[in-house]
Amino acid sequence: MLTRFLFPIITILSLVWPASGPSSAVRNRVEPAALPESEQVEFSVEFFPGSPHYVGDVLSARITYTGEGDMGGQEIQIALADEPEQVLDTASFSRFTNQAIFYWFLNTENSRPGHLRFTLEIPETNEKWGTGLNLLPNPDWREGAWDSVHTLCCTLHYITGTDSANDLLKLQQIVDERSAEALAQFFPDDPPDVSFFEEPLGVVLVPIVVGHGGFARDEAVMTYTERNWAGIDFEILVHHEIVHVIDRRVNTEGPRPSLLVEGIAVYYSGGHYRQGDPMLRAAALLEMDMYLPLTEITDDFYAAQHEIGYMQAAALVAYLEGILGREGYLDFYFNLPEGESPTAIISAGLEAYLGMDLAAVETEFITYLETLEPDDGIKDDVRLTVAVYDMLRRYQTIVFPSAHFRTAWWPPIEPMREAGIVGDYAFREKSPFDIIIENLFLEIHTSFETGDYLLIENNLAIIDDYLTTIETGNRPFSHYAIGWPLPKLPALPPHPGR
């Protein structure tokens, strides 16, 4: 690949760092794109789609309160700075996230390129400040619109002009096959036809990476691109997210603890990111002292190390299903009692079916894992999977914070389709730095398939060095210094008189 071919020039180029400061790869991620009219340090403002912004973008904004007070429920307004009395939109701060979101508050198709200035105001506290962004001319390369096709099971939504549109027939087959498998898992005695639901399952394919490549609400939303640097096997991803959608449709009343929700999705889809025996992978975690006690992570599951939590959750579901059987496990899962916490909910359900709470079940679960003998290949795969996705999230935090699953920008897609808005999920402009890092991740994911764990470790070390350089800021940064090809200069004309 480009990066591997050019890496030998890194040492030489590192001696000639340009003095121009950080590259646009880093600068362009900072919002707002220009200095605000006034500073309000207790609030951060993000505009979407992410920068750079162009005429024609339909803008949204996310305001996050970082102070010590209580902003929950308070209203905030946004207006154009030169028309402060004309409020564009009003939003309220969430009591849970301390965030207020203006969804698609301004269509810039009739705006002029230049600095677009806004005024934000919280009437109740009489706080008012300015912010803004740079608006570039409308490019001629950004085309695409929502389209859809009906399969046996699903309505498949995609954006024209993307890899999804090119591979549509193949994707329809994958979605139908995986939906049929998932339905058979939820209804083992009498699997229904894939047209079982009155409303087709909603599947949305987007060309950018958000989170780890997929998420589900009422619809399953998944990344599909030839350059998926999140590296998830697409068929497993489809299965995982469709399990979530079916789960929500079947399990409509009882509580749904995240440990079991994610565990059943990983187990039924055959693995986390790629195929893998959940019990052996959990045993590998235990043997390498990477195991996280379930009693400690259940009540705040998504705060735990992501891959470890998901692998252990899948293993627990497999273990319980081995004891209760498929029907017995689903009966337990769909009839969990209400409780004060996820741990209390799961413990009460386990008491009813096994006469033990979660702590007691985990003791026996660990005892069983200790009897398994994962080989070195499984242990290397598990260890490096954790390391790779920790690094991937670090890259997202530095370069694409809106792609990190804890701070992701994933607005509701149905109203976007109705309004014909694609920008939030369609476009993410790449800098040379982004391409270099993502090439390294793409090599890593290919190496998992071949078992080339040395290459994975080498690439992780390279990425770590690049990201540390940016984080520490102790020397100027240039994408030319990390392997981007230098421009070819024209040959100098012959010297006069020679």
Separation between Cα atoms, residue 377 and residue 363, nearest integer Å: 26
Torsion angles phi and psi, residue 288, rounded to 5: -95, 15
Q: For the chain, what's the residue count? A: 498
Pairing state between β 146-150 and 127-136: unpaired
Helices (H), 422-494: 423-426, 432-450, 453-472
pLDDT at 20 over 50: no
Write the pLDDT tens digit of every residue in 108-119.
Answer: 999 999 999 999
CB neighbours of residue 374 within 10 Å: 21
Separation between Cα atoms, residue 90 and residue 6, nearest integer Å: 50
Separation between Cα atoms, residue 297 and residue 308, nearest integer Å: 10
Write the pLDDT tens digit of every residue in 459-487.
Answer: 999 999 999 988 887 655 666 666 666 56
Note the pLDDT of residue 41.
Answer: 74
CA of residue 364 relative to chain centroid, distance: 34
Q: How confident is the model at residue 9 (pLDDT cuts 50, 70, 90)?
A: very low
Write the pLDDT tens digit of every residue in 46-90.
Answer: 999 988 999 999 999 999 998 888 889 999 999 999 998 899 999
In the chain, what are the domains? 2-24+386-482 (no CATH), 36-136 (2.60.40.1930), 143-250 (3.30.2010), 255-385 (no CATH)
Separation between Cα atoms, residue 276 and residue 257, nearest integer Å: 23
Amino acid identity, position 139: P
